[in-house]
Chain A
């Protein structure tokens, strides 16, 4: 789960990581008031949960008090990569000497958190990693003891070549690690971490992603979720215990298991169609879940056919068949349905679907071919 810059900065401030004087504003009037309080010049920054807002014109420096309302108003009306800007952060203008990067992520193969830092700040770290990996300094963190003082100082020395700055860097990065652990983060990042002309370090930007799996023990963090940034169908699916992601094609799919769902989408594409969605109905599937799944898929007007691909283990094929028939009755489904149900109780399911308008298929490949054909694509 992603949170906004201003929310992450709030967490930084609480932890004692230096941030600029700044405040969030939801209207141009509010933005102007904040600017008066802080003093000009200020930077007005769009608060959206996607990268690249600077390039999209969502970050502007304002020198004159009378211009703040206008600039804030323009940014507040913007849409960046499909997301509407609802809030701006009005921030003091820092006197920057140099820009750095510091972040903590989980190294999946080493299975430990890693502190990453680079003197190439202000650039996406993935780009630095691709183009100039030698510019990134890494320090693996042992989960038992945490980020140790000397480890953080050594990274600081590699970055700054100055013991005083390395010490300040170490304090900031150890606080970052404390946040990372206490709040179950999956990523925490300061980019850029700036060295000011007066020799101080400041977190000019802030990014925190929470581990979704840890949210159950952090109620206040879960409450930070910005629902306006989420696709309504995905939210509805999640509430029903389904995992759904909307795509651009016209073949809807209902599958049990994330891997099989992806493989089904891939096969649709391979046979000349385009998947309309990813949908994993999860483990034990009651008929109710099936009804919800069908309703969500069919609320996408692009869908021309629906493919149901189930490899039943815990999931019972007769539950799926019953759900499908109920959905057909209740939702008055107009588009053709193709079902491939194999595994637990497949015989019962086959009998249930006999004589209905649901097209049966014996294998995944056959089901995909039929669904693509019925959706009007080639096969």
Chain B
């Protein structure tokens, strides 16, 4: 078991004929993910590395039974790609692109919520259930099948943290994205990990900006039956500056790392300050 994606996942890659789309479609397929289709309008009938390409997501779904999509299209076209995948009735749509306008995401989220589709991202590395399926851009070698659920707002920091889960390995690692408005948040993932029998403990990787970590802490306090270890990035970030991620900004004195650590600790979450300490804390709690 794992959450969101597994060995039965049938993936369609939007933007598969692009440079990134083609590269990652192959990498995901090599990993063992069932990449059943690609979509590029106007390129229907061709194939990429043996993966059939369709003109629309609707067609791809009808022909191949795809249920999950990942979009490798530039930010200015990503909104339309997400709308299309939602309208086609996919279960999960992953958006990697960085730079999607916030109001576009507000509209996409609203549209998807009404149709029962989950959006992951944008500005995220995707997700991986090691040994089962990779729907994302992460380096496969950094992950091993196991029992820790990892959820993070970051990309490379997620790889770093996951590499410190020691002998436990990971059930699923989800990068929810660094933008202010994202389709899937910490609580969504915590709920899924909480109900996943394979997941024995959860690592939550947060950063400055917003109050998603605080809300997650409140949820953990009330509902979570599994141990949670937390890490927060951005203790040294100056206020008012956007730290790379559009959502990583301390504004009006709120969203600081200290606030988030305090909220996590108040909820009984063990906070580590160095990535390498994750395994030790997990051992203490498992």
Q: Is B241 an interface residue (CB 8 A)?
A: yes
A106-B102, A259-B152 as given contacts; A314 in contact with B110, CB under 8 Å: no
**A278 in contact with B276 given A109-B212, A262-B236 (CB within 8 Å):** no
Residues of A within 8 A of B276 (CB): 363-365
A47 proximal to B (CB < 8 A):
no
Assuming the contacts A109-B185, A245-B238, asked whether A258 and B245 have C-beta atoms less than 8 A apart, the reply is: yes
B residues less than 8 Å from A259 (CB atoms): 152-158, 178, 205, 207, 233, 244-245, 248
For residue B109, CB closer than 8 A to chain A, the reply is yes
Q: Bound state CA distance, A245 and B246, in angstroms? A: 14
The reply to whether B210 and A108 contact each other, CB–CB distance below 8 Å, is yes
Residues of chain B within 8 A (CB-CB) of A255 are 156
B246 proximity list for chain A (CB < 8 A): 212-213
Whether A123 is near chain B, meaning CB under 8 Å from some CB there, is no
Determine if A243 and B181 form an interchain contact, defined as CB atoms under 8 angstroms apart. Answer: no
Q: Is A288 part of the binding interface, using a Cβ–Cβ cutoff of 8 Å?
A: no
A144 touching B110 by the CB < 8 A rule?
A: yes
Closest to A314 in B: B137
Task: For chain A, residues 118 to 133, give those with C-beta under 8 angstroms from any C-beta of chain B.
Answer: 124-126, 129-130
Contact A216 B238 (CB under 8 A): no
Q: Which of B102, B141, B237, B244 lies in contact with A213, CB distance below 8 A? A: B102
Q: Quick check: is A263 within 8 A (CB to CB) of the other chain?
A: yes
State whether the Cβ of A143 lies closer than 8 Å to any Cβ in chain B: yes
Interface string of A310-343 (1 = CB under 8 A from B): 0111100000000000000000000000000001
Q: Is the CB of A214 within 8 A of B103?
A: yes
Given A214-B101, A280-B244, decide whether A263 and B233 contact each other with a Cβ distance below 8 A: yes
Closest beta carbon of chain A to B165's beta carbon, Å: 15
- Residues on B with C-beta less than 8 A from A344 are 139
Specify the chain A residue showing the minimal Cβ separation from B76.
A216
Partner of A245, one of B110, B233, B243: B243
Report whether A217 and B76 are in contact in the complex, using a CB–CB cutoff of 8 Å.
Answer: yes
Picked from B103, B243, B251, the residue with its CB within 8 Å of the CB of A262 is: B243
A314–B72 alpha-carbon span in the complex (Å): 14
Q: Bound complex: CA of A275 vs CA of B138, how far in Å?
A: 27
A58 interfacial by beta-carbon distance below 8 Å: no
- The answer to whether residues A108 and B236 also contact, given A245-B243, A259-B205, A343-B159 and a CB cut-off of 8 A, is no
B75 and A262 within 8 A (CB): no
**CB of B215 closer than 8 Å to a CB of A:** yes
Interface string of B46-58 (1 = CB under 8 A from A): 0000000000000
Chain B residues contacting A260 (CB-CB under 8 Å) are 154-157, 160, 233
Q: Interface majority SS on A: helix, strand, loop or mixed?
A: mixed
The answer to whether A111 touches B160 (Cβ under 8 A) is no
Q: Mark each residue of chain B from 128 to 164: 1 if its CB lies under 8 Å from any CB of chain A, else 0.
A: 0000000001110110000000001111111110000
Q: Which residues of A contact B99 (CB under 8 A)?
A: 213, 216
Q: How many angstroms between the C-alpha atoms of A314 and B139 in the bound complex?
A: 8
Judge if B275 is at the interface, Cβ distance under 8 Å. Answer: yes
**Complex Cα distance A102/B43, Å?**
49
Bound together, the chains give a CA A184 to CA B99 distance in angstroms of 13
Q: Given the complex, which residues of B lie within 8 Å of A130, measured CB to CB?
A: 253
Number of A-B contacts (CB under 8 A): 173
Please tell me the number of chain B residues within 8 Å of chain A, measured between CB atoms: 64
Q: B227 near A: Cβ within 8 Å?
A: no
CB B236 to nearest CB in A, in angstroms, measures: 4
Interface residues of A in 206-257 (CB under 8 A from B): 211-214, 216-217, 243, 245, 247, 255-257
Whether A243 and B235, one on each chain, are in contact in the complex, defined by CB atoms closer than 8 angstroms, is no
Expressed in whole angstroms, the minimum distance between the Cβ of B279 and any Cβ of chain A is: 13
- Is B106 interfacial (CB-CB < 8 Å)? yes
Let me know if A113 and B236 touch, CB within 8 A: no
CB distance from A366 to the nearest CB of B (A): 10
Whether, in the assembled complex, B105 has its beta carbon less than 8 Å from a beta carbon of chain A, the answer is: yes
Which of A212, A269, A278, A312 neighbours the largest number of chain B CB atoms within 10 Å of its CB?
A278
Whose C-beta in chain A lies nearest to the C-beta of B125? A313
Closest chain A residue to B248 by CB distance? A258
Q: Is A112 an interface residue (CB 8 A)?
A: yes
CB distance from B115 to the nearest CB of A (A): 13
Distance (Å) between the CB of B160 and the closest chain A CB? Answer: 5
Residue of A nearest to B237 (CB): A262
Q: Are A343 and B142 in contact (CB under 8 A)?
A: yes
Contact with A266, one of B103, B142, B234 (Cβ below 8 angstroms): B234
Report the separation of the CA atoms of residues A106 and B211 in the bound assembly, to the nearest whole angstrom: 13
Cα–Cα distance between A124 and B211 once the two chains are bound (Å): 19
Bound form: Cα–Cα A211–B75 in Å: 14
30 cross-chain CB contacts under 8 A: A106-B181, A108-B181, A108-B211, A109-B211, A113-B103, A124-B252, A126-B251, A126-B252, A181-B103, A211-B101, A213-B99, A213-B102, A214-B101, A214-B103, A216-B76, A245-B243, A258-B244, A259-B152, A261-B243, A262-B234, A267-B274, A269-B236, A275-B236, A280-B244, A311-B139, A313-B142, A343-B159, A364-B160, A364-B275, A365-B274
A-B pairs with lowest CB-CB distance, top 8: A259-B154, A258-B244, A257-B156, A126-B252, A259-B157, A214-B101, A262-B233, A260-B156
Given A186-B180, A260-B160: 10 more A-B contacts, CB < 8 Å: A144-B110, A213-B75, A213-B100, A243-B243, A243-B244, A257-B157, A259-B207, A260-B154, A363-B276, A365-B276
Residues of A participating in the B interface, judged by any CB pair closer than 8 Å: 106, 108-109, 111-113, 124-126, 129-130, 142-144, 181, 184, 186, 211-214, 216-217, 243, 245, 247, 255-263, 265-270, 275, 278, 280, 311-314, 343-344, 363-365
